[in-house]
Every structure is written in C-alpha cells, then in structure tokens.
Structure 1
Amino acid sequence: MNSITTITPDAGDTPAELQPHNVEAEQQLLGAILTNNDIYDRVSPIIDGSHFYDPVHSRIYEAAVARIAKGALASPVTLKAFLEDDPGLQELGGASYLVRLAGAAISSYAARDYAQMIYDMAIRRKLMDLGQEISAKARKVEVDSEPRQQIVDAEQRLYELGEQGAVNQGFQSFLRAVTDAVNVANAAYQRDGNLSGVSTGLIDLDKKLGGLHKSDLLILAGRPSMGKTSLATNVAFNIAKAYKKGIRPDGTEGAVDGGVVGFYSLEMSAEQLAARILSEAAQVPSEQIRRGDMNEVEFRRFVEAAKSLEACPLYIDDTPALPISQLAARARRLKRQHGLDALFVDYLQLVKGTGRSENRVNEISEISQGLKAIAKELDIPVVALSQLSRQVESREDKRPQLSDLRESGSIEQDADVVMFVFREEYYKEREKPGDHELEKMASWQDEMSRLHGKAEVIIGKQRHGPIGSVDLAFEGQFTRFGNLVQPWQQGSDDRM
C-alpha cells in the first residue's frame, strides 16, 4: 500500500496520541467510497462525518456524501474542485492526496468493518470528552448547578451515547416488518393466554387488551377511592410475581414470562405501597397490617408472604415531585442495572415538567409526551395513572368518559390505551335512604347486594383493539382486584 501521510487534530486537554483513532481505516474507507460510490449506502447507517478523527477526512467524506446525495459522481477528479482550497488538504499534498486515497483502497469488500471500527473509535473519544466535561462541571461550583442534576444529565448523555446506532434504524423492508409481526403473533399463539404482550394476571382484562404491549403508553384513570392505585399495584405485582428468565424467541436473554417492574409512587411511600401488596398476598386487611392488629395465624401468613416476595423483581421509587427528565433517567438506569419490562407511574399529575412552560395544559402535554417517549425508547409498556375532573360527579351516570381526563387533550392523544376504573358500589353506598323509608331501603339493599365486590374497567380508547368494559372482582379489605366468577361459572371454574 502506498504511504499516505496525515495530520492530527487538536484534542484539547488530551494529547492527540492518546485519543483512540485509526487513520488507516479512515483512509481505506474513503478510498473505497471514491472508487465505488455504492459503498456509501452500506456504511451510511453506521457513520457520518463527525465520526472521523482526522478533520480533513471528515471534510472529504462530507463532500463525497453531498455529491452522492445529488446523484452525482464522487471521485478524486470531481472532488478536487470543492477541496483544492482546503488548507488541511493542501498540507497533505492537495488533490494528489485524493488520488492516493483511491489508489490505496484495496479492501472495498471490508468497508462496513472499517466503518464500524471508525464508529467505535469515535464513541471512545466521546466517552473521554464526556468524562472531562463531567469533571470540569463538578469542579466548577455554581448555585444553579446542583450535583444531583449533574448526575442525571451525565446519565442521560451516557445512555444516549450507548443507544446511538440502535435507535435510529431508519427505513426497514416490508419483508422484515412482516417477519417481526409474524414472530409476535407466533409468540402470542405459543402462550396459554394467546397474549402478544405482558400478562396483567387478570384473565378478562388480558382478553380485551392482549396483555400490555411494548412501547405502549397506557393511561389508567379514575376518581379518588375508585381503586386505580390498587389495580396498578395488583397488575405490577402479578407481572413481577410471574417473572421467569430465559431465552426469548429472538435469541436474546430476558423475561419469558412476567417481567421486571419499576413503580414510581409519587403519592404514597414505598412502605405504604409494600403494605398494600403484602395485604393482597397474605390476605390480611391493610388497616390491620398498619396497626399490627393480627392474630397468630394472620401474622404467620403475613411473614410467609413477605419471605416469598423477597426475590420479586419489583422496584419502587417514592421520590415526590419527580421531574420527567429524572424519571426517564432513573428508568434507563434501572433497565441497565436490573432489566425493565414494565413501568408504572402513580400518578401523572404529580410528575413535574421541565419548568419551561407556565401553562399547566402544556406542562401535562410535555409529561405525557415524555412518558410515551420512555415507552418507545426503552421498548416497554408504561402504565400511568391519572386523575379525572370533578365533572363526573355532576352527572347522573357516573361512568367516566375520555373528556373527563384532566387536561385531556394531550393525554388522550399520546396514549395508546385509556382505561377507567369504576365502582358503582362506591356511589350507591352514598345514596343510602333513611331507616324510616322501608321500601327504598329494601330496594337499596338489593342494589348494594348486586354491586358488592364488583368493579368495572372501562376501555375508552385502544389503538390496536376493541373498546368496551371488563368486569372484575374487588376486595376492599385486601385492596385486591381479581377475576370475576360469573354466575354460570359458579362451582365449575374458580378463577379468583
């Protein structure tokens, strides 16, 4: 191979010779592109001009790309006119350097390997630069630069660096898209419940939703005391309890059943949330757990439930008023350290925006878009709880609707699924007539008997499935939702 000289860029605080680079790989790749422009299509998904170490090579690459993008030829002859005044190229011998690059390219078949090598070296340099930047920021003490925020920013930058090249895949062929769709359908067919998503542990809800789908944002809304937090903790616990690790159909290692769950509890403390889950698992009323009012049998059940849940991959973050940027950063960290298959946020209105918007509606829009972005970026279902406006209470029919969502426009638009928790028993209980109204009292008792222990999940929006309602059982003392046994199933199919 002909000898090709090159110059090295100014690397700031780090000496040039310590910066990871491979000038020969850059020369080989550029030479291959200048002799065969079709090679650009093979390497463009991997690198761009910023990945080159030598700034002259970067400018040559960008000039060649500009020509190729217009459908014109990029060769030493055609590029000469654009680069002959470049001072860096003149130091290397001017236009003759382009000719030497093309003449030295003997391995065009290995262009992708060279491109990957150039990319890897660029990432190493960016890691070094990021390390120096973090160090410089930490050294500089400023009022508006809190250490915690610096950690969040650094984590976000590192995660973005790690995901480069993986997220921006660009166009894919229809054949590949069809193959992916068939694989998802096959995985659903192989499962007992015929689910394409993560099972909620509630049979009828799974049938309606097909499980919780990756990259989906699901909104679970309801008025206070409807049980939306209970339903969310029940589903989160069911997913974590069913977790099994193994080799998935695509050959990667991960959850083959259930999953690792992250739960942001912005309203309740981690201890209160754990008490709810233990109440469900041990079948001991949550108020008795809080008071420690348990007999020996109940306490033994409580301890055994606590032991069985020790290895449950359910991670709780109860930091109040968490900004959406930190929420995303912590989710990335959890996925990197322990894996993450589903994320719950209780609840959406308690998440903070970036503070750039003074309008509450715009802030909620920013938060809902941020949650949807997390779902897509981490490829997991995100279940966010949401409050409903008081207008529900003023209607005769208390069943919630999409328009009842607070600041509903953005939430309704960004969500893939919107569900409402509704317990008619809660409202009927407050309509109790006076003791002297015997006829009304008898009618009220019949209604209460019919509604007791029943809840309804109303699916108001679903992008890839039907809307409608699902009946569930609700045990208030254990804050537990379960599968409702229908009258025709009594004695033959216990689904609780």
Structure 2
Amino acid sequence: MNEQTTFESKPRFKKRSEAPDIGQLFDRTPPHHIDAERSLLGSILLDPSVLMDTVQIVSSPDVFYKESHGAIFKALLDTYEAHQTGDLVQLAESLRARGVLEQIGGTTYLMELAEAVPSAANAPFYAKLIADSFRLRKLIDAAGEILFDAYNQGGGTPDAARGVIDTAEKRIFDIAQEDINAEPESLKELLHQEMERIDAADGKLISGVPSGFNDLDNLLAGFQNEEMTILAARPSMGKTAIALNIAEQIAFGGATPWQPKPDAKPVAVGVFSLEMARGSLTQRLLSSRSGVDSAKLRTGQVSDSEWQRLQQACDELAHAPIYIDDTPGMTILTLRAKARRMKQRYNIGCLVIDYLQLLSSPGSARESRQVEVSEISRSIKALARELKVPVICLAQLNRGAEQREGNRPKMSDLRESG
C-alpha cells in the first residue's frame, strides 16, 4: 500500500531556517495566482500537446504556489513523457501510484480542472502569470536572506557590507537571469537578418566598432558587438597604454588632431581599471594626446609650449565620452552591476576591463583559482551579450610564451586560467 502524502498549505522555499519569513514579517500572503494554476492544468488536460510549450515557461512543479497543483503538474509531465498523452485516466493512475490522488482532491478535482477552461488556447498566458508570481516570491525570499545577512554579518569586518552587497547582487541577478528566455529563431529568419547585415555593410572593411589601428581593424573588422576580445601580454608590456589609446580612438570615432574625420561617429566607452587609479589614467591620456612626456606631468616641469599643448589636449579630451571606474578589489558581480548602470546612464558602446585576473568571483572562490578565472571569463562574455557591446578585456600572460620558440602566446598562457 502506498504511503499517503499530506500537502502543506503554503509553498516550500529553500531558505535558511534563521532567515526571516518576509510574508509573516509584513503580515502579507505571498504573490500567487490560483485561478491561473487551475486554468493551466485544465488546459493541459484538454490538450496535452500544449505541455511542451508550457514547460518552457513553467519549468518545474515548484513554480506552483499550491503544492497539490505542483504534484498534478509533475504527474502530467511524467505521463506525457511516458505515453505522449495525458488524459484523465492516465493522470489519475499516476497520482494514485504516488499515493497522492486523494490528497489533491481525487478524480473529482481533476474533472473540475478539465472543465475550468473552454479551450487550451490561453495556456501560455496562464503559464506566464504563474511564472511571474513565482519570481516575485523568489524575490521576497531573497529579500529575507539579504535582511538576515545585513543584520548578522554587517559590521563584523571593514568589508562586511561589501560582502553582503555582492551576495545580494548575485541573488537578484540569478533571479533576473531566469527571466531571460531566448526563443529559438528559424534559419530562414536568421538568413534574412544576415543578408540585411551584409547589404548594409556595402563593402565596408569595418563592420564593428573601429579601434583606430588599421592593421588591427583589418584583422577584426572592428570590435564586434556581443563579443569579448582578450588583449593579453606579459606584465609591463604596455597593455594599459594601448587599451587607453583604443578607448580614446573609439570615443573620438577614429578622429585625431592630425587626421580629422568629418564623418566621425563617437562611441561612449566605459573603462574599469582595477590596477591603476583614475588620476593615473587621466595623466596617461593627457600625455598621449598632447605628446608631452608623462614624467614631466608628474613633476609639473613643463615649458610654455608644452603647457599650451596640454591645454589643447585637455579641451579635446573633455569632449571624449569616456567614463572611468577605478574601484579596487571589484568582484565580477559588482562590475556587471556597474556596467549595466553605465549602459543605462551613458549608453556606452564599448567596455574596457583592466584586467581579468584582478577580478574575483564570490560564488567560485572556494574552488581553485583556475575555476574562478574561468567563471569570471564566462561572466564577462555573458555581459557582452547582455549589453550588446564589445568588451575589451586585458589579461596577463604567464611565462609559457617566453619559453616557447617564437614566443607566440596561446590561450593556455593566460595567467591563472589553467
């Protein structure tokens, strides 16, 4: 005889026992949509084929607020997988075999569900209502854990608040990522888009964001949106210098004082400098633009003519849409949050990160450093796709390239990448 199951009246959440229940704290019932749950289950009973479309939106039984509805949905999934159908008889047998048929209301309740909707046409709409309520409940659950962390971990160390914020951002970001459901596109539509892109290119050698370096642009056709480009070298080889030159060229649309471009299209650039302070970067930009040696800028020993060149360079750079963030010890979660704000506030069209190995990832810090760097790299790639901008990421190489004939680097030479 099957063991009987008693359903809880409230949804189950995976949370720490110590974390506060926000619903009880504010004396509010969590967001839910029982009518939509009933209507969705009824739609599937009327037409089991809609289950395949529905499961892309409602991915698991846990999404349902009423646990008995989740049990019915699980049985429908298993029944459809086994028989490619899901009629009342098969569903009832599946629930009976699990020992939960009577707990969900018996066959009478299943029949009521089937009669709750006239057709299955609105199943995706019901599924979206259910999924949206579930995300709101997850946000409430995350808020409870954030409250718990803030009360119990805040103030213990100088960096306690930063740790709580990073964890909070990760929780919210994970929930936000679940909402990104890219629908598949037919090859026919993709081919149409590609032909339009080729036609728009009209023989242009640069289809992306131009770097201002002709040889590099000829190789890459410019920095492409949604792609991450690694700029790697051994320490003290000029990575930051060339990255700043590229950022400057992009911000001015490729125009320079000695080579004006009437059709220049400036692109806003966001620069994340984890190694060098913003003052040092500004000094480098001034030195590069004016042609005045940076050593003279540090000491202030400049001639009158050099001062005039500095003034002119300053006036020109003031119009460059370059935004610099030099927050030290940044995590990848913090960087992604800051990059989103940059995109929203300044409409940046390119990101520069200096440099990869100075970022940390709280989620994978307990693993090896190689695993952590790999996770950071994947996250930066995802950021490029999310913001739809090219990302230029600087990185350090280990000694592997120096020991190889010709000194030609490989991806495995990236320091701490494994």
TM-score between both structures, scaled by the size of structure 2: 0.78
Match of 1:222 in 2: 233
Match of 2:91 in 1: 79
What pairs with 1:118-267 in structure 2 (closer than 5 Å)?
118-141=130-153, 143=156, 146-166=160-180, 168-169=181-182, 171-189=184-202, 193-224=204-235, 226-242=237-253, 259-267=267-275
Offset of 1:410 from its aligned partner?
4.6
Contact 2:274 2:358 in 1 (8 A): yes
Match of 2:287 in 1: 279
2:122 to 110, 113, 135: 110
State whether structure 2 residue 359 is matched by structure 1 residue 345.
no
What pairs with 1:434-449 in structure 2 (closer than 5 Å)?
none
What pairs with 1:35-74 in structure 2 (closer than 5 Å)?
35-48=46-59, 49-74=61-86
Report the Cα distance in structure 2 between the residues aligned to 1:95 and 1:389, rounded to whole angstroms: 67
Contact 1:239 1:259 in 2 (8 A): yes
Task: Evaluate the alpha carbon distance shift between residue 405 and residue 126 of structure 1 in structure 2; reply closer, same or farther with a 3 A threshold.
Answer: closer
State whether structure 2 residue 33 is matched by structure 1 residue 22.
yes
SS of 2:115's equivalent? Answer: helix
1:381 to 385, 390, 409: 390
| Deviates further, 102-111 or 379-388 | 379-388
Report the Cα distance in structure 2 between the residues aligned to 1:289 and 1:338, rounded to whole angstroms: 29
Q: How far does the alpha carbon of each residue in 1:81-127 deviate from its partner, in whole angstroms, 9 at most, with x for none?
A: 22247788646632211111111212522222222222222222222
Offset of 1:334 from its aligned partner?
3.8
Report the Cα distance in structure 2 between the residues aligned to 1:373 and 1:223, rounded to whole angstroms: 26
Q: How far does the alpha carbon of each residue in 1:186-205 deviate from its partner, in whole angstroms, 9 at most, with x for none?
A: 4433xx84433222122332
SS of 1:18's equivalent? Answer: coil
| Deviates further, 15-24 or 117-126 | 15-24
Q: How far does the alpha carbon of each residue in 1:269-326 deviate from its partner, in whole angstroms, 9 at most, with x for none?
A: 1111112123333444333333333445544553454455446443323234444454
Match of 2:366 in 1: 356
Offset of 1:79 from its aligned partner?
0.8
What pairs with 1:478-493 in structure 2 (closer than 5 Å)?
none
Task: Evaluate the alpha carbon distance shift between residue 115 and residue 402 of structure 1 in structure 2; reply closer, same or farther with a 3 A threshold.
Answer: same
Contact 2:22 2:140 in 1 (8 A): no
**Any stretches of 5+ residues in structure 2 without a counterpart?**
1-6, 13-20, 255-263
Match of 2:276 in 1: 268
Report the Cα distance in structure 2 between the residues aligned to 1:90 and 1:31, rounded to whole angstroms: 18
Report the Cα distance in structure 2 between the residues aligned to 1:76 and 1:39, rounded to whole angstroms: 15
| Deviates further, 258-267 or 349-358 | 349-358
Task: Evaluate the alpha carbon distance shift between residue 362 and residue 36 of structure 1 in structure 2; reply closer, same or farther with a 3 A threshold.
Answer: closer
Offset of 1:157 from its aligned partner?
2.2
**Any stretches of 5+ residues in structure 1 without a counterpart?**
1-5, 244-255, 412-496
Report the Cα distance in structure 2 between the residues aligned to 1:392 and 1:103, rounded to whole angstroms: 70
Offset of 1:130 from its aligned partner?
1.7
Task: Evaluate the alpha carbon distance shift between residue 390 and residue 159 of structure 1 in structure 2; reply closer, same or farther with a 3 A threshold.
Answer: closer
Identity of aligned residues (%): 34
Report the Cα distance in structure 2 between the residues aligned to 1:114 and 1:299, rounded to whole angstroms: 68
SS of 1:343's equivalent? Answer: strand
SS of 1:315's equivalent? Answer: strand
Offset of 1:174 from its aligned partner?
2.1
Contact 1:364 1:407 in 2 (8 A): no
Q: How far does the alpha carbon of each residue in 1:466-485 deviate from its partner, in whole angstroms, 9 at most, with x for none?
A: xxxxxxxxxxxxxxxxxxxx
RMSD: 3.7
SS of 1:169's equivalent? Answer: coil
Report the Cα distance in structure 2 between the residues aligned to 1:312 and 1:53, rounded to whole angstroms: 52
Equivalent pairs, count: 388
| Deviates further, 180-189 or 90-99 | 180-189
SS of 2:36's equivalent? Answer: helix
Offset of 1:338 from its aligned partner?
4.4
| Deviates further, 62-71 or 365-374 | 365-374
Task: Evaluate the alpha carbon distance shift between residue 109 and residue 384 of structure 1 in structure 2; reply closer, same or farther with a 3 A threshold.
Answer: same
Greater radius of gyration (CA):
1
Report the Cα distance in structure 1 between the residues aligned to 2:381 and 2:410, rounded to whole angstroms: 20
Contact 2:32 2:65 in 1 (8 A): yes
Task: Evaluate the alpha carbon distance shift between residue 316 and residue 160 of structure 1 in structure 2; reply closer, same or farther with a 3 A threshold.
Answer: same
2:355 maps to a residue whose letter is Y
TM-score between both structures, scaled by the size of structure 1: 0.67
Contact 1:188 1:196 in 2 (8 A): yes
Offset of 1:263 from its aligned partner?
2.0
SS of 2:122's equivalent? Answer: helix
Q: How far does the alpha carbon of each residue in 1:426-475 deviate from its partner, in whole angstroms, 9 at most, with x for none?
A: xxxxxxxxxxxxxxxxxxxxxxxxxxxxxxxxxxxxxxxxxxxxxxxxxx
SS of 1:140's equivalent? Answer: helix
2:409 to 402, 408, 426: 402
Contact 2:253 2:265 in 1 (8 A): yes
Contact 1:159 1:332 in 2 (8 A): no
Contact 1:196 1:211 in 2 (8 A): yes
Contact 2:79 2:94 in 1 (8 A): no
Contact 1:184 1:196 in 2 (8 A): no
